[in-house]
Structure 1
Amino acid sequence: MFSHPAFELVRDERIADVDSQALLYRHKKTGAEVLSLVNSDENKVFGVTFKTPPTDSTGIAHILEHSVLCGSRKYPVKKPFVELIKGSLNTFLNAMTFPDKTAYPVASQNLKDFYNLVDVYLDAVFFPLLTEDTFHQEGWHYELEDAKAPLVYKGVVFNEMKGVFSSPDAVMRDLSQRSLYPDVTYGKSSGGDPKAIPDLTFEQFKRFHEKFYHPSNTRAFFSGDDDPAQRLDILDAYFSQFERAEVDAEVGLQPRFNAPRQLHGTYAGTKDADKPRDGMISVNWMIDPPADREEALSHGLLSYLLAGNPAAPLRKALTESGLGEGMTGGGIGSGLRQPMASFGMKGIDPTNAPKVETLILDTLAEIAERGFPSEQLEAAINTFEFSLRENNTGSYPRGMTYMFTALATWLHGGDPLAPLHFETALAALKDKAQGGHFEGEIRRLFLDNTHRTTVTLEADPEQGAREAAAEADKLAQVRAGMDEAAIAATISETEKLKRLQETADDPADLAKIPTLTLGDLDREIRKVPVETGEIGGARLFYHDLPTLGIVYLDLGFDLHVLPDELLPYLPLFGRALLQTGTSKEDFVALTQRIGRSTGGINQHRGLSAMQGSAETAAWFFLSGKAVADKVEEMFAIMGDVLLDARLDNRERFRQMALEEKAGFEARLVPSGNAIVDTRLKAGLTQAGALSERMGGISYLQFLRQLVGRIDSDWAGVQQVLETIRDTLFNRQHMVVNVTTDGALWNQARGEIGAFTERLPAVEQPLQQWPGPLAARSEGLVIPAQVNYVGKGANLKALGFEVSAAASVALKYLNTTYLWDKVRVQGGAYGGSSRFDLTSGNFSFLSYRDPNLLKTVDVYDGAAKALAAGVGENDLTRSIIGVIGDMDGYQFPDAKGYGSMWRQLTGTTDAIRQQRRDEVLNASSKDFAELAEAVAAVASHGHVVVLGGEAAITAANAQRPGLLDVSKVL
């Protein structure tokens, strides 16, 4: 059944742990290896992976990853990847560069769509066009627009990596890894160092593809419910076009250090002379490759035991030391042939770095000596086992986790099936756990391991300007070495690349990209079963779905009972419920109790505009999951958390506030577009203002003030926390959302009702909150070499009522005009527009953008692009893409939660069906209507920029008064 004439079947094994038949093949002609998992998962996954070890930091593998998706032999268009984004039902579509490999995974629930994706990707990696223009666009090039203009670098990866290295956390990760592996490929920056990227030549780039992108260097993977024979036919059609080759792609082993090493570095940042907290430290070890699945699990479990939650002893020792604001590193990673382990702190006084290093080593020695308490071992093992059995990967396709799990050994010549088994290894680990196994591992892996580096970083306020000047000097030297002919040639090349970028693909070539038809799409929405009612005085939503024996529970409390001034406390209040302990147990014991008895308990907030109303849906949720015989204990824990949390625990609360602040500051660069979007929408709707106050720049400012108030006015802070608890946790304004199968629901219903009835029942008046903040254009300054540029407005406030068909026009706008103008021509890593049909909020956003005013001008030209209309093929593709977004794959818990949230926001199934109908019936008329609305955004919208001071100052110099400037970091 599973044989194929072109492939040798190497292994045929049933793996119950992942509910799959595993078939390992070798292509007879080329030696390509294929792992084919046959199972019932409708979310089908394919991936092709190559060993691609770089020998320098020019980013060659990363630039190639971008470039192969820019046109191929069979699909000779400029951006087949974008055409798939526009017109596919994919549930995953991307590519990833790792320190030693490059992977190209896709996923879809639709079989025809899945095969389309597979074919485009296979043609892209094996037969890319790889023109010099593509190399310049995606990698780097000199840009010169006229003889008097300055010479500059442009390139998507070049600017992406400038953005990466604007993050202190990224600088620390890069330096820590490079410090451990100075003699092998892991000692290079695989993504590319912006200082080294311009050293890469097109000839080197081409040779890298010729060497490594060959079937003989291929690990191909399938998982899902598609035909296993068809998989092999598809692969052979490509593999058989090659002859076997000897590909030297081995990742060498780093020789061991005889003694630990120390390194010191800097990052572009600001210093506070009165209270220096700009330092970071990371203590790192190189670990021997795990011998088997048991040892790999042991690595993960040991990392969790040491630092996997706030009560873990190493993390607790660091956070309680007062030496820093938050922990960095998380233990032993699994992505490198010789794994890397790291523990450290951020937000330290750089002079205290030796104290942190000593604390880490002393704490490890103490744990190795005294051992882990049995309660902690039991909790960690249960948490690990629950996660392995549930295998809930969220929006990430489950098959992709199998692929990367297998690659951990497969890539380096090991058994790819071994990592997919966990039952036997976990059982053996359980037996060893109480016998001192992990204490011995701490000694072996850390204390007795001399292959260790300690890396310290601190801010250098002059570094950003110094690096910008060095780049300018380097470009000036290049320019000085050009004669008139070279200058003319560079201008000509710049113009040529721009012409190519602006030239539309031949419609005949575009038609070669495989696509579905509108007839392949479901006309009806996907409904989730829901039973509504009342339970114990609270509003009930129940979803009868298969959940593998797990009960998923969400307890929701309406935030409208709280006065407006208390809302910024909610994020830390939620953390305090789970991380301060109760009157009966400290937070360590509480954390262990949660780990022993549940699959996890967490808290979060939900905020959204209401359907057909200016009101806001605003809820606090406490969510948990447990197997049937642990449901009663889960409720007991949730009751203690809600009603008995130690909100008087000042020291713990201070630690959380510092962690929250440090974590937010670390997210500014990698999540800059999301922060800009939140800031924009604060001036558009009440829900936007609330999101900003509980998760935006305003929240960061609140945290900075709160850290001081904890010391100066703890009684006042504690009173606020207790007021929130006494007011919020009230079943009069509560919802209970349960997702599980019918049999478990019948068992758990009585316990849920009894639990709900124990909560207070006091009628609380609902508060009136202020509306949106005053909208204004802002420049938010951070030490970064790139910008995040946003512009937005509320279309309803501007007098426009657009239908769901606007999402089709936006899909087209994002994948054509904005992709071309902001990314391809502008050199930013990304550019997009977003529209929320419920609120009316519309925003443009860019990511890791070297430009500012040019990007704003692009936004202002979007209306003209939409007004130009759309061809029939592009319209169909865009409709398909939007339906794909609507029908994204979800696990049962997400289905149940999403159904409840739609009820709370007033989004009925009738409204959902109406929106789907509007999308399916979208026409050029909808493009014209959105063009009119977007023109109003150009005239009346406000701009928010998060970026470097020089860029923001220059923008205000060119357009005086455009941005109100304030420093964020």
Structure 2
Amino acid sequence: MSEHPAFELVREQQIGEISSLARFYRHKKTGAEVLSLINEDENKVFGVTLKTPPEDSTGVAHILEHSVLCGSRKYPVKKPFVELLKGSLHTFLNAMTFSDKTAYPVASQNLKDFYNLVDVYLDAVYFPLITEDTFRQEGWHYELDNTQGPMVFKGVVFNEMKGAYSSPAALLGKVSQLSLYPDTTYGVNSGGDPKAIPDLTYEYFKDFHSRFYHPSNSRVVFYGDDDPAKRLDILEAYFSQFERIDPKADVPLQKRWNAPRQVHETYAASPDEVGGKKTAMVTVNWMLDEITDPEAMLALNILESVLVGTPAAPLRKALIDSGLGEGLTGSGFADGIRQPYFTFGLKGIADDAGSKVQDLIIATLDYLSREGIDPKTIEAAVNTAEFALRENNTGSFPRGIALMFRSMGSWLYGHDPLAPLSFEAPLKAIKDKLAAGERVFETLIRTHILNNPHRTTVLLTADPNKAAEESAEERARLDEAQQALDAAGIAAVAEQTARLKALQEAGDPPEALARIPTLTLADLPRANKAIPIAREELEGVSLYTHDLPTSGVVYLDFGFNLDRLPGRLMPYLPLFIRALTQTGTSREDFVSLTQRIGRTTGGVGANRWLSTRRDGAGTAAWLFVRGKATTDHVGDLLSIFHDVITDARLDNRERIKQMVLESKAGFESSLAGMGNGIVSMRVRAGFSEADWLNEKLGGVSHYFFLKDLIAQIEGNWPAVQAALEEIRSLLIGRSGMIANVTADNFAIAALRPELARFITGLPVGAGPSLEGWGFEPSPQSEGLTFPGQVNYVAKGANLKELGFAPTGGTAVAIKHLNTTYMWDKVRVQGGAYGGSSGLDPFAGTFAFTSYRDPNLLGTIDVYDKASAFLKAGVGEQDLVRSVIGVIGTVDTYRLPDAKGFTSLIWELSGDTDEARQQRREEILSASNRDFKALAEALDQVARTGQVVVLGSETAIKAANDERGGFLKVTKVL
């Protein structure tokens, strides 16, 4: 039934590319627009997107996004969002602020749960409480603990954006966008500039909501197998309470320039990063006109792949081969705004090399547009795009949300919401033009880039004084504000601080919490979802197969046991993994190999996987080479596999040096964005072999190794090459190898003979190494310094070594701890962007972590008091919600390829069906006993646990001064 009295059916269309019937409605009373996508996907999706163009960089849209999820008319509790995180089976639950829009999407496989999520989100968006206290908590406020102390700024978004501005890569990306659009909303920072956030008033904040959070400014998407008629009933219950308005939310077009512009900004760096070192980065950026044609938009996205999409892409290769820098910046096509833009650049350049990089980019593009792009590169890029569109593999991200955002690229700006969802016609048009000999991509380069004067070149250079200067500016601003207050004003700030803290610490009334819709234990399935697996031997190799519907795609994984490698070779492993697919072979250079992969497969890659075994008997450690192809190209896929694992050019010194420089630069530029992972990895490394190896291969230790490796390549290349060759000789072979296939049974049967021939064509290989990896437990507390404005604080221990035996009930206790105590103390009261704890049940390693945290010692104190919180016990309502939340993570939605690989991981780690079912039953029967058992263990963590902090030198020195030098200081950047 497509008719509804409150909605006008504007259009109905079957969209074969996404296997959906699309119905596009307009709400008669308010003008709200609704896209209802009806299909058989059990992972149901709802999302409301609002145009929210900010006028300044105070972060009003971002702060509002946080704040509306802090209580609403129907659900008047402090954190309904967290209650849903705790007690829902959601497969997605979040909200996002973009440059010109704010989106509130949810997803769940459970119908009752889905409707619960939809109702809480609709009430939050249209009827939030957004009190002044919420504004202060999520946005910013003056904090003054007593009338004598200095005021400080606090606020979740304030500190989140301080963290974002601590990342040079993020700063460069933001400045690059802002530079192109000085006269529109894209010329301000919708996330908020920490220097501007304290200019935001509560009155403006409230007005922003009333202007833009309205059905008349809403674009709503439903997707999945739920009842299409009920979707409209749900919306009408909310929309009917509003009258139509004109939100005046359109984003104006930026007027074009007739000449390029130059921008120079600086980022905070340590003194060691300057003085002749290559620490600058640059982008060259072009603003395009608004694109409304689906064919043109698809072609421009493919052009990104052609130019920089792979290490062998011509513009990317030219930049890396130039030696001007160490790696690409976030280069590509940015199409999430009304006027998209291209951006290309390099990081790790000399301060005076910006113009050289600019000239190289323009010269390379000019050459490609005149002389032509290699047809094989174009064929590979088109095939890769087509494969991705047809496979529609969004990983753990729900397909419905991906389609929602794809539609918004047109719909938000008044164009056809369905056009971006259909790709057959635009793809065919592009392929037909190429077949007819048209210079499709050369013309795009000339038209949209080279002949486009609306260009900026943004240079970002390191400034060793910037952090101190910004800190001094903030302190001066606070002191000025405090000095402007009389005694009564200061007392009022102190009183306001105390009142906000009291509100944050106060619990919600039970009757209000009871309003949050939730499932019951009876709604939860008692048994785990099974993944089919068959085990056999094929030519002496263990073969695992998974009969699953994969729409004609074969997913193939080969694993090589890392127990073949001695510890002295392990640090080279990440480089070896990259070298397999990025150095070429003896018969083709890496450009030709990359083209071949793109032309005939859906992709080939390699990665490592490490885990403590479930029984605690050592570490499961594997290198995986993974790929996918349609059934008619499986032979091509196997041929590529053979070439990359047996014949990669490990003697390609120049290419390998480039990869090491890229990895080093990548770690440096992303450090501020992954600081919580870095400190968690570092603290756990002292307690278990698997964690120690992970840190050696991806943490601070590996970063230090990369810096040394650059000198090795320069001064003793034969030793580096010998190490890589030795890894191949020890690792690649039938001995210790496994194969994993995910496809339907017909494809598996057809593949088996080819797979047997592939296996027999490999060398036998070596046995396990007798040298071992050299792990010895060595916990220590450490302060890692970098020039950031916020901290990342971890504290951890091995609970098994402390005598604690984790169960499924432990996961429930940790869920409750994270969504109550940690959320309240670290985020809400502490002002950090995030705080959590996590336990590896196999290894026993446990760690608290915080993210973008203004505190250090205060956060450690919060961790140390967690046991007291758990000892107080948990009410039945919170217990049930936490059980539901943990079951939601156990029953997470997986696409077929992820199911097949997950099943393999279970096998290799010794995690049996019986063990997982026992864990599920322990989760479902969790009680206060589990909470108190964990509390006893956390008492010991408080007394004996180790601390690792990533923060500024000033913050770590202050902590050491106060706590007697308890942190060993290690300089990272």
- TM-score when scaled to structure 1? 0.99
Residue-by-residue CA offset, 1:879-934 (whole Å, 9 max, x unaligned): 00000011110001110001011110100000000000000000011111010011
Which amino acid in the other structure matches residue 918 of structure 2? Q
Confirm whether residue 317 of structure 1 aligns to residue 351 of structure 2. no
1:769 deviates by: 2.4
Confirm whether residue 136 of structure 1 aligns to residue 131 of structure 2. no
Which amino acid in the other structure matches residue 549 of structure 1? G
Q: Secondary structure at the match of 2:705?
A: helix
The 1-side partners of 2:76 and 2:376 are apart by 60
Confirm whether residue 449 of structure 1 aligns to residue 452 of structure 2. yes
Report what 2:871 is aligned to.
867
The answer to whether the Cα contact below 8 Å between 2:812 and 2:926 also exists between their aligned partners in 1 is yes
The 1-side partners of 2:124 and 2:275 are apart by 55
For 2:554, which of 551, 555, 561 is the aligned residue?
551
For 2:782, which of 754, 778, 786 is the aligned residue?
778
Pair 272,92 (structure 1): closer, same or farther in 2 beyond 3 Å: closer
Report what 1:701 is aligned to.
704
The 2-side partners of 1:168 and 1:611 are apart by 40
Within-5 A mapping of 1:396-411: 396-411=397-412
Q: Secondary structure at the match of 2:508?
A: coil
Report what 2:98 is aligned to.
98
The answer to whether the Cα contact below 8 Å between 1:215 and 1:239 also exists between their aligned partners in 2 is yes
The 2-side partners of 1:772 and 1:828 are apart by 34
Report what 1:968 is aligned to.
972
Which amino acid in the other structure matches residue 420 of structure 2? P
1:277 deviates by: 1.0
Q: Secondary structure at the match of 1:222?
A: strand
Which amino acid in the other structure matches residue 168 of structure 2? P
Which amino acid in the other structure matches residue 418 of structure 2? L
1:275 deviates by: 4.1
The 2-side partners of 1:502 and 1:621 are apart by 48
Residue-by-residue CA offset, 1:95-122 (whole Å, 9 max, x unaligned): 0000000000000000000000000000
Residue-by-residue CA offset, 1:246-294 (whole Å, 9 max, x unaligned): 1100101000011000010100013545641110000001011223110
Which amino acid in the other structure matches residue 595 of structure 2? Q
Confirm whether residue 484 of structure 1 aligns to residue 494 of structure 2. no
Residue-by-residue CA offset, 1:537-565 (whole Å, 9 max, x unaligned): 21111000000001100100000011111
Q: Secondary structure at the match of 2:672?
A: coil
Within-5 A mapping of 1:275-674: 275-433=276-434, 434-674=437-677
The 1-side partners of 2:120 and 2:419 are apart by 31
Residue-by-residue CA offset, 1:203-254 (whole Å, 9 max, x unaligned): 0000000000000000010000000000000000000000111110010100
Within-5 A mapping of 1:193-212: 193-212=193-212
Report what 1:178 is aligned to.
178
The 1-side partners of 2:904 and 2:173 are apart by 40
Report what 1:33 is aligned to.
33
Report what 2:960 is aligned to.
956
Which amino acid in the other structure matches residue 819 of structure 1? W
Q: Secondary structure at the match of 1:755?
A: helix
1:766 deviates by: 3.5
Residue-by-residue CA offset, 1:138-196 (whole Å, 9 max, x unaligned): 00000001111110000000000000000001111111111100000000000000000
The 1-side partners of 2:473 and 2:965 are apart by 30
Q: Secondary structure at the match of 2:57?
A: coil
The answer to whether the Cα contact below 8 Å between 1:777 and 1:963 also exists between their aligned partners in 2 is yes
For 1:818, which of 810, 816, 822 is the aligned residue?
822
The 1-side partners of 2:812 and 2:440 are apart by 57
Within-5 A mapping of 1:566-965: 566-767=569-770, 768-965=772-969
The 1-side partners of 2:240 and 2:175 are apart by 42
The answer to whether the Cα contact below 8 Å between 1:802 and 1:929 also exists between their aligned partners in 2 is no
The answer to whether the Cα contact below 8 Å between 2:730 and 2:766 also exists between their aligned partners in 1 is no
The answer to whether the Cα contact below 8 Å between 1:308 and 1:330 also exists between their aligned partners in 2 is no
The answer to whether the Cα contact below 8 Å between 1:682 and 1:772 also exists between their aligned partners in 2 is no
Which amino acid in the other structure matches residue 467 of structure 1? E
Report what 1:244 is aligned to.
244
The answer to whether the Cα contact below 8 Å between 2:273 and 2:462 also exists between their aligned partners in 1 is no
- TM-score when scaled to structure 2? 0.99
Residue-by-residue CA offset, 1:573-610 (whole Å, 9 max, x unaligned): 11111011001000000000000110000000000001
1:632 deviates by: 0.7
Q: Secondary structure at the match of 2:329?
A: strand
Q: Secondary structure at the match of 2:420?
A: helix
Q: Secondary structure at the match of 1:329?
A: coil
The 1-side partners of 2:301 and 2:195 are apart by 35
The answer to whether the Cα contact below 8 Å between 1:538 and 1:734 also exists between their aligned partners in 2 is yes
Where has structure 1 moved over 2 Å in runs of 4 or more? 270-275, 765-773
The 1-side partners of 2:273 and 2:251 are apart by 43
The answer to whether the Cα contact below 8 Å between 1:62 and 1:192 also exists between their aligned partners in 2 is yes
Report what 1:224 is aligned to.
224
The answer to whether the Cα contact below 8 Å between 2:274 and 2:464 also exists between their aligned partners in 1 is no
The 1-side partners of 2:78 and 2:240 are apart by 26
The 1-side partners of 2:601 and 2:243 are apart by 53
The 2-side partners of 1:560 and 1:838 are apart by 19
The 2-side partners of 1:391 and 1:422 are apart by 12
The 1-side partners of 2:274 and 2:114 are apart by 57
Q: Which moved more, 1:442-451 or 1:288-297?
A: 288-297
The answer to whether the Cα contact below 8 Å between 2:161 and 2:192 also exists between their aligned partners in 1 is yes
Report what 1:23 is aligned to.
23
The 2-side partners of 1:262 and 1:800 are apart by 60
The 2-side partners of 1:246 and 1:645 are apart by 61
Which amino acid in the other structure matches residue 353 of structure 2? N
Q: Secondary structure at the match of 1:669?
A: helix
Pair 763,181 (structure 1): closer, same or farther in 2 beyond 3 Å: closer
Which amino acid in the other structure matches residue 368 of structure 1? S
Residue-by-residue CA offset, 1:470-529 (whole Å, 9 max, x unaligned): 000010001111100001111110000000000000000000000000000010011111
Residue-by-residue CA offset, 1:288-343 (whole Å, 9 max, x unaligned): 12231101101100010000000000000000110000011332111010001100
Which amino acid in the other structure matches residue 812 of structure 1? H
1:762 deviates by: 3.7
The answer to whether the Cα contact below 8 Å between 2:731 and 2:765 also exists between their aligned partners in 1 is no
Report what 1:72 is aligned to.
72
The 1-side partners of 2:273 and 2:122 are apart by 52
The 2-side partners of 1:347 and 1:476 are apart by 38
The 2-side partners of 1:683 and 1:791 are apart by 12
The 1-side partners of 2:380 and 2:154 are apart by 51
Q: Secondary structure at the match of 2:691?
A: helix
Pair 762,413 (structure 1): closer, same or farther in 2 beyond 3 Å: closer
Q: Which moved more, 1:372-381 or 1:51-60?
A: 372-381
The 2-side partners of 1:802 and 1:685 are apart by 16
The answer to whether the Cα contact below 8 Å between 2:169 and 2:670 also exists between their aligned partners in 1 is no
Report what 2:112 is aligned to.
112
The 2-side partners of 1:274 and 1:342 are apart by 28
Provide structure 1 residue ranges, at least 5 long, that are not aligned to the other structure.
none
The 1-side partners of 2:759 and 2:561 are apart by 15
Which amino acid in the other structure matches residue 152 of structure 1? V
Which amino acid in the other structure matches residue 810 of structure 1? I
* Alignment coverage as a number of residue pairs: 969
Provide structure 2 residue ranges, at least 5 long, that are not aligned to the other structure.
none
The answer to whether the Cα contact below 8 Å between 1:22 and 1:36 also exists between their aligned partners in 2 is yes
The 2-side partners of 1:939 and 1:310 are apart by 49
Q: Which moved more, 1:214-223 or 1:432-441?
A: 432-441
